[in-house]
Amino acid sequence: MTDTIPAWVNGDLRPVDKLEVHRRGLRHKAVSVFVLRGTEVLIQQRAAAKYHTPGLWANTCCTHPAWDEDPAACARRRLDEELGITGLAPVWRDRVEYRADVGGGLTEHEVVDLFVARARPDMPLAPNPAEVMATDWVDIYALAARTTRHPEVYTPWLRIYLAEHMNTIFGDLVTF
């Protein structure tokens, strides 16, 4: 298996091929990051070549950790790999679980460590075109309203995060 992620099979956590995990809808580990600038959050439009949810808007970045990879280290790694962002210190907010159909016969059943980080004023972005088509800074409350009005342009997990976990992620936005 060349591209494996930690997934639970028959109650045991083991490395499983990423595509198999999503075809079978296996429960697996994930990390999601939200980078904030005041009340704005950085979102990304997933690259057209992504194997699921291409072209949809998502949170700043998300991924599956490598086997035994620390979630915070994974968050920092993925910020760099997807967006060229380095030097941030993501703060762990909570762990949530969700299950969502992502199209093409694939299912995300994730146990997600959620992180929030503050953008530096001079923070450059260098999106990886294999991962990201576009980025945007959007007021978090406006984004929550948009995901309700136009759900078809946002990933299922972003819609779930904002509908069910917004207070957990952003509840103390002013004092964070």
Domains and CATH numbers, the chain: 4-169 (3.90.79.10)
Separation between Cα atoms, residue 137 and residue 106, nearest integer Å: 29
What token pair was written down for 31? 């990390």
- Among the listed residues 69, 81, 110, 164, the single catalytic one is 110
Which of 111, 101, 122, 120 minimizes the C-alpha distance to 52?
101
Interval 108-116 mean pLDDT:
97
- Among the listed residues 62, 74, 82, 108, the single catalytic one is 62
Separation between Cα atoms, residue 71 and residue 76, nearest integer Å: 9
Confidence (pLDDT) at 175: 44
What token pair was written down for 124? 């450059």
Residues 67-83 pLDDT 10s = 889 999 999 999 999 99
Separation between Cα atoms, residue 21 and residue 88, nearest integer Å: 30
Count of Cβ atoms closer than 10 Å to residue 118 Cβ: 15
Confidence (pLDDT) at 1: 34
pLDDT band at 4 (very low <50, low <70, confident <90, very high): very high
Instruction: Read off the DSSP letter of residue 65.
Output: P
Is 74 catalytic? The answer is no
Is 110 catalytic? The answer is yes
pLDDT band at 173 (very low <50, low <70, confident <90, very high): low
pLDDT band at 94 (very low <50, low <70, confident <90, very high): very high
- Helix (H) / strand (E) element for 140: namely helix 140-149
Q: Is the pLDDT of residue 174 over 70?
A: no
